[in-house]
Amino acid sequence: GENVEQHPSTLSVQEGDSAVIKCTYSDSASNYFPWYKQELGKRPQLIIDIRSNVGEKKDQRIAVTLNKTAKHFSLHITETQPEDSAVYFCAARREYGNKLVFGAGTILRVKS
Amino acid sequence: DVKVTQSSRYLVKRTGEKVFLECVQDMDHENMFWYRQDPGLGLRLIYFSYDVKMKEKGDIPEGYSVSREKKERFSLILESASTNQTSMYLCASSSRRYRGLVRQYFGPGTRLTVT
């Protein structure tokens, strides 16, 4: 089955700096890769996703890149702000499947 | 806006008790999921259901069962709670109507403590 590894497990950055979180997946049939953000005490919320026919997607300060050959995808947050502090989860889904396989999560701390 | 609600935010049970966790969604979603969230392990799928009365095991189904008698409601059952089932339990739902539209909407979570 699919296995998703996520690094780093914790990340501290200074406000205004960029943050990058990387995930690798094992199943070459996976074709959908969402990122969820979970603030302290709150539910996970989708922040951005990418499909395997696209190499990069941006939404304001957030971007996701996908390298299908290497089977890895990354979340990039630019100009980080204190409200970006949260746990971020990557996930992968097989084509036409219902299930997502999640990474272990990255705790991002933005220091002001 | 999608609403996914869970019956309790916090629950304390004793070892050996039967525990019911309920999840309700109001968006007519076909798919519903139960995850447990533990530090350093991310979200692990326990069971999911793609239709009423249909269920499939996830990655860690041992010690759990589920019930889906109505489309909007998905219950997670711990037949005999054990201390290693102390965890945060998250319910989620998603639609199967649109090809590729697989965004999962999560409930607020139930923090279960088994003593």
Q: Contact B42/A32, CB-based, under 8 Å?
A: no
> How far is B94 from chain A, CA to nearest CA, in Å?
9
Report d(CA A93, CA A90) in Å as an integer: 11
Q: Is B112 on the interface with A (CB under 8 A)?
A: no
B41 touches chain A (CB under 8 A): yes
Q: Measured between beta carbons, which residues in chain A are less than 8 angstroms from residue B104?
A: 34, 46, 100
Which pLDDT belongs to residue B100? 57
Average pLDDT over residues B52-79: 96
Strands (E), A15-77: 19-25, 30-38, 45-51, 56-59, 62-67, 72-77
B56: pLDDT confidence band, cut at 50, 70 and 90?
A: very high
Q: What does the angle CA A16 – CA A20 – CA A21 come to, to the nearest 5 degrees?
A: 140
Along the 112 residues of chain A, how does pLDDT read in single tens digits?
A: 789 999 999 999 999 999 999 999 999 889 899 999 999 999 999 999 998 888 999 999 999 999 999 999 999 999 999 999 999 999 998 766 678 999 999 999 999 9
Cβ of B103 within 8 Å of Cβ of A49? The answer is: yes
Asked if B94's CB is within 8 angstroms of A9's CB, the reply is: no
Residues of B in contact with A37 (CB under 8 A): none
